[in-house]
Amino acid sequence: MQNRLLFHQSSASLEVIGLPDYSNNENKDQISIISQWKLTIIDKPLIEGKIQHLGPIMDAFYIYSNLLINNEIPLYESKLIDMKADNLHIHNIVLKSSKPDVKPLIIKIGNSLLSDIINCFDQLNESSNVIIKKSAVLNNIPKKVRFGLNNKVKFFNFFLPPLIAICSLILFSSTFIYFYNPVEDKEKNELINSK
């Protein structure tokens, strides 16, 4: 018998179905082997998938909401899901099936539904009854977002070597700096005059 957990927020509800990992001495109410999940949104088609789809979809929603709030261009593209803002209030989601010959599912959601869905994901993340094994976060960053990170790295790589060179030149040449000492100069002049 599989366990079912439901996370509900206003118009969205997320159902997670799976089993506890008995080899890890887990409680019978827990879920750590997720076999299926379903995201139900009122007036929208049902979204469902397996564990390998849940992580990327959750990441997509979190990254997209961060882009939206940080005044950046809200655009997320990956193999599984594309998210784009139509305007300030409406967001366009394209869910691509991993099965061949299945047309992508296009859903339009508003800010209210976006926050409902993210709150469902928050409840799942915070639930002690579900354990999600997370893969490396960097691998999940889509090309469009990773492009920004690469640019930053390139920028540092471009400016760091000349900066280090200038600093080392200053440090090295500072050891040879001659400081003018007026007292010593006076003594020299006196010696010359006495001669």
Partner 1 sequence: MPNKVTIWKLRNNNPLRKSYMNNNIKLEEFDALIKITVEMSRYLYPYIREILQSKEDPENTSVIWNDFNKRFIELINERFNINSMRVKKLLNQSGNDEIIIKSLLILSLCISNKGYQKMINYLFI
Q: Which residues bind partner 1 (CB under 8 A)?
A: 10, 65-66, 68-71, 88-90, 110-112, 114-116, 118-119, 122-123, 125-126
- With the CA atoms of 107, 57, 6 and 17 taken in that order, what torsion angle do they form, in degrees rounded to the nearest 10? 120
| Closest separation in Å from C-beta 69 to partner 1 | 6
Task: Quickly count: other Cβ atoms within 10 Å of residue 87's Cβ.
Answer: 7
| Closest separation in Å from C-beta 145 to partner 1 | 14
| Closest separation in Å from C-beta 117 to partner 1 | 10
Instruction: Give the residue with the Cβ less far from partner 1, 11 or 32.
Output: 11
| Closest separation in Å from C-beta 176 to partner 1 | 45
Which of these, 39, 40, 22, lies nearest to 31 by C-alpha position? Answer: 22
Instruction: Give the residue with the Cβ less far from partner 1, 87 or 193.
Output: 87
Instruction: Give the residue with the Cβ less far from partner 1, 36 or 92.
Output: 92
| Paired residues of 5 in beta bridges | 16
Instruction: Give the residue with the Cβ less far from partner 1, 112 or 189.
Output: 112
Cβ–Cβ < 8 Å for 17, 44: no
Task: State the Cα–Cα distance between residues 173 and 118, nearest whole angstrom.
Answer: 58
Which of these, 130, 132, 131, lies nearest to 5 by C-alpha position? Answer: 130
Residue 64 C-beta-side C-alpha neighbours within 13 Å? 24
Strands 47-49 and 105-110, bridge-based pairing: unpaired
| Closest separation in Å from C-beta 43 to partner 1 | 12
Instruction: Give the residue with the Cβ less far from partner 1, 48 or 122.
Output: 122
Which of helix, strand or coil describes residue 9?
Answer: strand
